[in-house]
Structure 1
Amino acid sequence: MSTGHTSVPEVLDALKDVTYPAGKEQLISAARQAGAGDEVVKALRGMPAEQYAGRAEVARSVRVDPDSDPGTDAGRRAGQARRGGKPGLSQHLREEPRTPIQEEFDR
């Protein structure tokens, strides 16, 4: 079992010849045809099955190594999992709602 991870630039490089909008299966197929590695294909498989309008949407939705995201820890990821978020956005990119105390401090 591989423990390596891919990066967003690697994923986008494998999708450089894709014509958008494109669905998840089309992106996976294009990555395979471009000779992408197993980790890139695995990251694409982890995306929601939706239509993607462009590379920016793919970059926001592709699941790479969530532990490398700045500012995320196990507690925050667990909170995001409980609350859900915008459909089509990878779990590790979902924003947490502000608490009433945080909103009060911002006033």
Structure 2
Amino acid sequence: MARTSVPDVLAAIRDVDFPAGKDRLVAAARAASAPEEVVRALRGMTPERYADREEVAGSVRVDPDPAVDPDAARRTARAREGGRPGFSQHLREEPRTPIQEEFGR
């Protein structure tokens, strides 16, 4: 299986005016006759608006699976938020419950 890289993806979307959504990036890559691996990597990104090429470079999966994973968007969003759920949960700040407020804990 051929692999793609971030420079390959950025070359395929060089004519895109930002901000741009995922669908526009995929369409631009297809219009530029980009390899299918590049299009697949763009399709694996979260469906949001990207402000510039740096955001695309940080969000694109450069080693996608042959079949597009339906949970890829969710995993990408989770990675942006700070990693896997349950990882270092005890170190994260949580709002106090009304009972904790009442008892001063």
Quick check: which has more Rg, 1 or 2?
Answer: 2
How far is the alpha carbon of 1:98 from its aligned partner?
5.4
RMSD, matched Cα: 2.2
SS of 2:80's partner is: coil
Q: Can you give the 5+ residue segments of structure 2 that lack an aligned partner in the other structure?
A: 65-74, 91-105
TM-score by length of 2: 0.63
Amino acid at match of 1:15: I
% of aligned pairs identical?
Answer: 53
Q: Counterparts of 1:7 and 1:98 in 2: how far apart (Å)?
A: 31
TM-score by length of 1: 0.62
Which residue matches 1:54? Answer: 52
Which residue matches 1:23? Answer: 21
How far is the alpha carbon of 1:57 from its aligned partner?
0.3
Q: Counterparts of 1:28 and 1:49 in 2: how far apart (Å)?
A: 11
Matched, 1:45 2:39: no
Q: Counterparts of 2:54 and 2:47 in 1: how far apart (Å)?
A: 16
How far is the alpha carbon of 1:4 from its aligned partner?
1.7
SS of 1:86's partner is: helix
Aligned equivalent of 2:34, options 33, 36, 58: 36
How far is the alpha carbon of 1:95 from its aligned partner?
4.3
- Between the two proteins, the alignment pairs up a number of residues equal to 76
Amino acid at match of 2:36: D
Q: Can you give the 5+ residue segments of structure 1 that lack an aligned partner in the other structure?
A: 67-80, 88-93, 101-107
Q: Counterparts of 2:83 and 2:54 in 1: how far apart (Å)?
A: 17
